[in-house]
């Protein structure tokens, strides 16, 4: 009786997860395997011929100056992740206390994360406008006579994208940190205060270690989300000026859907996958030293 009940439960479980697993198979696993095959071909979209080229795409990628530029820009883009997390932690600690308009402020901080990417692009293009934008207007008002050109210059464009991404991810990171902070027993914080710990010492010695699993989660998911994102960059700069904001994910998109070089794009995609795996493995190995469960 028990065994038959377990079998029925197992079949019911498979019935529920079946549609999702079919979707994963059709839209993730099969395309991934096919892209691995394409990496060794010269397949071009709408081309009648596909030839096996071996490692030519990988050699081309390693000798491609644009690939190097995109790789460097990707690492600059990733700098936004720890900065956003640090700011989000500070905001979460502040909003975890009783402050005026607490719920409203939480909603306002989270709102950018659920806002349309096109709307975000349009607003920030106006804010970063070099001659009449409010950001440079403010910088001139405090005495900076030659403010950056931001999105219009190759020197500052990638840093402007970082600022936008920090702002975009701040609300999401803050909400996750808030959830972690509210799970901390108040007795531990009170004990630290009774022992004479100052507020910054309480945060550093008590609160920060207790939310380290959340930090680890946000670091992994944030790096993965950032390294594969190109929507905001495509909407704001299309990788320009020049190639100063072309990251690897956008470089893949350009080769696949602008130049229709699917084989080469597949090779870059697997290079991006390898980078993500390296980052993830390093974080899993390093988390034993600073994550406290």
Strand partners, 41: 52
CA distance 275 to 271: 6
Whose CA is closest to 232, among 117, 149, 62?
117
What is the SS3 assignment for 44?
strand
Q: The tokens of 17 are what?
A: 């997860």
Strands in the chain per DSSP E: none
CA distance 223 to 227: 6
Eight-state DSSP code of residue 261:
B
CA distance 21 to 16: 9
CA distance 142 to 54: 58
pLDDT value of position 1: 52
What is the distance between the terminal CA atoms of the chain, rounded to a whole angstrom?
40
pLDDT value of position 231: 87
How far is CA 270 from each of CA 79, 109, 170, 276, 283, rounded to the nearest angstrom? Answer: 22, 35, 29, 10, 20
Cβ–Cβ < 8 Å for 175, 120: no
What is the SS3 assignment for 41?
strand
Q: Give φ, ψ of 272 to 5 degrees.
A: -65, -40
CATH superfamily membership of 63-292: MetI-like (1.10.3720.10)
Given phi > 0 = left and psi -120 to 50 = alpha, else beta, which region is 108? alpha
What is the SS3 assignment for 80?
helix
| Tens-digit pLDDT string for the chain (293 aa) | 566 767 777 788 888 888 889 999 999 999 999 999 999 999 987 777 888 998 999 999 999 999 999 999 999 999 999 999 999 999 999 988 877 788 888 888 899 898 888 888 889 999 999 988 999 999 999 988 889 999 999 999 999 999 999 999 999 999 999 999 988 888 888 888 888 888 888 888 889 999 999 999 999 999 999 998 888 999 999 998 989 999 999 999 999 999 899 999 999 999 999 999 999 899 888 888 888 77
Q: Give φ, ψ of 133 to 5 degrees.
A: -70, 150
How far is CA 5 from each of CA 10, 11, 17, 94, rounded to the nearest angstrom? Answer: 9, 10, 19, 51
What is the SS3 assignment for 159?
helix
Q: Give φ, ψ of 46 to 5 degrees.
A: 70, 5
Strand partners, 52: 41
Cβ–Cβ < 8 Å for 121, 232: yes
Q: Report the residue count for the chain.
A: 293
Cβ–Cβ < 8 Å for 261, 237: no
Q: Give φ, ψ of 117 to 5 degrees.
A: -60, -35
């Amino acid at each position: 009786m028990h065994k038959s009940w377990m079998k029925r439960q197992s079949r019911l479980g498979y019935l529920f997860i079946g549609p999702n697993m079919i979707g994963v198979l059709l839209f993730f696993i099969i395309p991934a395997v096919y892209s691995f095959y394409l990496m060794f071909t010269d397949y071009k979209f709408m081309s009648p011929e596909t030839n096996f080229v071996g490692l030519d795409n990988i050699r081309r990628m390693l000798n491609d100056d644009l690939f190097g530029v995109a790789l460097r820009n990707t690492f600059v883009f990733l700098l936004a992740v720890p900065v956003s997390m640090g700011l989000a932690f500070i905001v979460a600690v502040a909003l975890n206390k009783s402050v005026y308009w607490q719920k409203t402020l939480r909603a306002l901080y989270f709102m950018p994360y659920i806002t349309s990417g096109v709307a975000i692009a349009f607003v920030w293009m106006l804010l970063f406008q070099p001659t009449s934008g409010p950001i440079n207007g403010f910088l001139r008002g405090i005495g900076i006579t030659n403010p950056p050109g931001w999105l219009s210059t190759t020197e500052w464009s990638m840093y402007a994208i970082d600022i936008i991404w920090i702002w975009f991810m701040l609300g999401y990171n803050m909400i996750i940190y808030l959830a972690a902070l509210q799970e901390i027993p108040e007795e531990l914080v009170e004990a630290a205060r009774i022992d004479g710990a100052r507020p910054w010492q309480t945060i550093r010695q008590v609160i920060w270690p207790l939310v380290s699993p959340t930090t680890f989660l946000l670091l992994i998911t944030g790096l993965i989300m950032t390294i594969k994102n190109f929507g905001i960059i495509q909407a704001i700069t299309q990788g320009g000026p020049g190639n100063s904001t072309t990251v690897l994910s956008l470089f893949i998109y350009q080769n696949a859907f602008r130049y229709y070089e699917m084989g080469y794009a597949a090779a870059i995609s697997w290079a991006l996958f390898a980078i993500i795996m390296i980052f993830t493995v390093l974080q899993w190995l390093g988390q034993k030293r600073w994550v406290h469960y």
